[in-house]
A and B are shown apart, each in its own frame.
Chain A
Amino acid sequence: MNEEGGRVWVFGVVPVDAELNELEDRDDLPDVWLVESGELAAIVGDAPEDDPKATRNQALGHARVLEAAVRDAPVVPMRFGVMCPSDDEVSSGILTDRHDQLAELMGRLEGQVQLMLKVYYEEQVVLREILEKEPEVAELRETTRQGSEEANRDQRVRLGELISNAIEQRRERDSADILEQLRDVVLSAQSEPPEKELMVLNAPLLVARDGVEQLEEAVEEVARERGERMQFKLLGPMPAYHFVDTEEPAPA
């Protein structure tokens, strides 16, 4: 229990009868306990100290606690930063007042998990391809190669901008192709903005819990077809962060 009257951090909500073996077995995660009410239980812990390092650790802890929980049960993930004054307030203010909405959401998430597919261009490969296929870029590169760096800064900026545009065009096409190829093995897919310049696809994928392996195989196949041109990274399973309503459930 929470001892010194500090704030209680709310990680997420699970069914009250969930057996969270992975969460219990792990000793590298923040200490957590359950607050129960009706059919629901909230996974809670002590709120972090108020300093940047603690906040950073809490971000990792928050994600990892929920990743551990979702191995064994459906999880409604709370957004980072939800805190309550006490366990009682978690019970009354969240689990009781919003019981039906949370239970409904839980029902929808039953048997579903999220994975993140992140795909990046190999810089050398995609640049070479652009230089080969886009004469305007190749010509401008030859110009900028011959002058001094300061003298042709504007030209270098223009060259980089052309390359950036060329990557953007490829990104649109390639990301759509990849998602299309995965259509049959996902329940739903989104496409988030790229996090890095060379990112092709940043996609939260909703899949059936027993369909993870099938997705992995499909992604392997997609990656094989792209060969050296792209790098693939598949993260999860995690709770369906991107597929829950982010609006606050209205109080009952």
Chain B
Amino acid sequence: MAMEPSRGGGTVERSEESGLADVVSTILDKGVVVDVFARVSLVGIELLRVDARVVIASVDTYLRFAEAADRIEMGAEEPAQLDDIIGKASEAGSRGKTKGALEAGAEKLEDIMGNSVEEKEEATARREER
């Protein structure tokens, strides 16, 4: 099995300097406010805020999980009993449908701003492989 040096295996990625995705959730909503001089709204600050917005499970999330689960190859797998399953599955969830696509929005924004956690992690992995 190929080893991936910087991932898994109980290692801790250590960073003394935060990236953009890390800082928005701390500096935008935390820290001391002195609003004798109103905090001026900066162009682009709302974009940062969207980037920091917390994940809300959405249909997009669910479909992504379903797809990822699809690709998992299990070991000794028993053939499914189709008749047993259809009954249970037909109550398929509509609950999540109205929750919106915030997560998708946040991901797109990260693409634009080009500073997602994954990219950084990949970059770190590449560096450490050398």
Q: What sequence of 0s and 1s flags, for each residue 57-80 of chain B, a beta carbon within 8 Å of any chain A beta carbon?
A: 101011111111110101000001
Contact size range, A = 35 or more
Q: Is B129 an interface residue (CB 8 A)?
A: no
Q: Is B89 an interface residue (CB 8 A)?
A: yes
Q: How many residues of B contact A (CB 8 A)?
A: 77
Q: Is A72 an interface residue (CB 8 A)?
A: no
Q: Is B15 an interface residue (CB 8 A)?
A: yes
How many A-B residue pairs lie within 8 Å, measured between CB atoms? 279
What does DSSP make chain A's interface, helix, strand, loop or mixed?
helix
B85's partner among A85, A118, A143 (CB-CB below 8 A) is A143
User: How many whole Å from A98's CB to the nearest CB in chain B?
Assistant: 7
Which of A55, A62, A89, A118: most chain B Cβ within 10 A?
A55
Using CB atoms and an 8 Å cutoff, list the residues of chain A in contact with chain B: 7, 10, 12-13, 47-48, 50-56, 58-60, 62-64, 67, 76-85, 89, 93-94, 97-98, 102, 105, 116, 118, 122-124, 127-128, 130-132, 136-146, 153-161, 163-164, 192-197, 199, 204, 216, 219-220, 223-228, 231-239, 241-242, 244-249, 251
18 more CB-based (< 8 A) A-B contacts, given A132-B74, A223-B10, A244-B31: A48-B42, A56-B44, A59-B28, A63-B27, A80-B31, A82-B37, A82-B39, A97-B36, A141-B70, A158-B92, A161-B57, A193-B55, A196-B117, A197-B61, A231-B8, A238-B18, A247-B33, A248-B35
